[in-house]
Chain A
């Protein structure tokens, strides 16, 4: 009697472009639904910038800041930056760290999910939260702050939100990889709040005590805020727009490079 040995082989995984887009879209949809339903996240990430803008922005209705800058409009850009950074740092830093610690990420990695799908979905979700925050703040500014905002200015703010979220998403990734899950929320706050203050996101940079001014150009939040102020022509004149883009871009590369290095080191130990 003949004996045959059956062996196995694996055909390579080929997905069409459409299938890939489908997976990324679904991943993003559920990441967004997950976060919007997580009240501790959605209420604080959207609520804090809104509350601060009401206290500081709307309360300064009609005021100008010396060289003709409308305070409520200047602070609109500031709190938009503040909101976007929060969405990225909490959504990705805290979200990814807890999914990693709970073993959920490992289960996903054992499935044929495209390896970048989860991360890209988290980044797009942070951008979506950025757009929501900017839309609410802009509506408040126009409706109650006496701010005139052209459609072009609004579109530029949104565009900045989409681009500006990415470097902070990269920072969130690094935090999720380095900081133990139980501590990420605290660590994010310890970075986010002082950085926001020293970058002029709460109080315009020119009104900050002098000791903070030399620090600002080293903070990514400062560059983002200044880029948003350029939409209104309110930016400081010390650094060019290209300089701010370079600052943010460099910061992003630094975060991604460090994340890559940490990821590969933990892979080898796993």
Chain B
């Protein structure tokens, strides 16, 4: 049966909008590897949901299932109440995936022109260029773009069709802080236009800055779920910085850990129960050094300093 799309006002609390996209008790196995293990997730209209977790947590797998690029081993994936593999659902979604390279010898404007042609009601070129901040780059070959500009083009391609749902898989990976902040502005502008966004990230700061709801996953299961405030309260907003030989993957296994980053030889751990995590880390590594326990917000301080 074919019905017209019903407009949903998110302000009107009496309207119970069905989720726009759903993963229901989904398990996904690749051979012996279980990427998702009974994961359930629902996207409500107009919300930005961040899937937060380390590499290999199953974030990209969840996105691929909702895009119909792969099928669940058990459970169901639905988008607009349909199987995501139905071609018609793809006219109403946009995706920014982790693409290693885009054809290098096409120009920005040509990539946009081609992607627009796939959609029944695309945004105008001028609008795409404006939203993705690609002004003045239309005639530049992809190979001549900077890392941030490349990500902006991929973002532009994701919004070409004026989608209702936008999937962003690690949209800011590999970008410096300023380029990342720029992309954040664009993601916020999507929400302002009433779009539903599912983004994956392994930065707590990013999820905190953008999402209405954060779903922390690890090893294919949901570890924690809530608003950024709830997640931060749960984590008591504390961060460990130290130099340790314990690998990030081992630290992720400790209770209450929500974020692990390794940078410049130091390990940064965000956790609810910092004391318990520290005891375990000290027990695992006699050589652990350079220890600091800090409140987050360092990134903001760093940005203020570098921009000052």
Contacts and interface: CB of A to CB of B under 8 A. Distances in A.
Interface of A: 1-13, 15, 22-23, 26-27, 30, 33-35, 37-38, 98-99, 101-104, 106-107, 109-113, 115, 269-270
B217 to A, nearest CB: 20
Q: Among the interface residues A30, A37, A112, A115, which one has the most CB atoms of the partner chain B within 10 A?
A: A112
Contact of A8 (B18, B67, B95): B18
Interface string B107-151: 000100111011110000000000000000000010000000000
Interface residues of B, number: 55
A2 B14 contact: yes
A109 B115 CA distance: 11
Contacts of B301: none
Contacts of B67: 110
B99 interface: yes
Contact of A6 (B16, B31, B95): B16
B118 A270 contact: no
Contacts of A107: 95, 97, 99, 154, 157
A171 B242 CA distance: 55
A111 B118 contact: yes
Nearest to B98: A103
A4 B31 CA distance: 43
Contact of A112 (B4, B6, B14, B161): B161
Given A11-B2, A26-B113, A112-B90, A104 B103 contact: yes
Given A6-B8, A9-B80, A34 B14 contact: no
A98 B99 CA distance: 12
Given A33-B110, A103-B99, A104-B103, A7 B91 contact: no
8 contacts: A6-B8, A8-B5, A22-B117, A103-B97, A103-B100, A110-B95, A112-B90, A270-B69
Interface string B43-71: 00000000000000000000000011111
Contacts of B114: 26-27, 30
4 residue pairs, one from A and one from B, having the closest CB atoms: A37-B105, A13-B88, A8-B80, A112-B90
A5 B15 CA distance: 6
A9 B99 contact: no
Given A10-B81, A10-B92, A111-B115, A34 B16 contact: no
A153 B287 CA distance: 81
Given A22-B117, A34-B106, A9 B69 contact: no
Interface in B1-45: 1-6, 8, 14-18, 20, 30-31
A234 to B, nearest CB: 39
Interface of B: 1-6, 8, 14-18, 20, 30-31, 67-71, 80-82, 86-93, 95, 97-106, 110, 113-115, 117-120, 141, 154, 157, 161, 167
Q: Among the interface residues A1, A37, A110, A113, which one has the most CB atoms of the partner chain B within 10 A?
A: A110
Nearest to A95: B103
Contacts of A1: 14
Nearest to B86: A10
Nearest to B113: A26
A7 B17 CA distance: 7
B18 A5 contact: yes
B125 to A, nearest CB: 13
B47 to A, nearest CB: 15
B16 A10 contact: no
B98 A12 contact: no
B118 A33 contact: no
A66 B91 CA distance: 63
A104 B99 contact: yes
B134 to A, nearest CB: 17
Given A8-B6, A98-B101, A112-B90, 8 more contacts: A13-B91, A35-B105, A37-B105, A37-B141, A102-B101, A110-B67, A110-B95, A111-B119
Contacts of B15: 3-4, 6
A89 B1 CA distance: 45
Contacts of A35: 105
A6 B90 CA distance: 20
Contact of A111 (B5, B86, B95, B110): B95
A12 B88 contact: yes
Contacts of A109: 69
Nearest to B87: A13
Q: Among the interface residues A5, A23, A106, A115, which one has the most CB atoms of the partner chain B within 10 A?
A: A106
Contacts of B5: 8-9
B90 A110 contact: yes
Nearest to B103: A34
Contact of A104 (B16, B68, B82, B102): B102
A75 B185 CA distance: 62
B118 A112 contact: yes
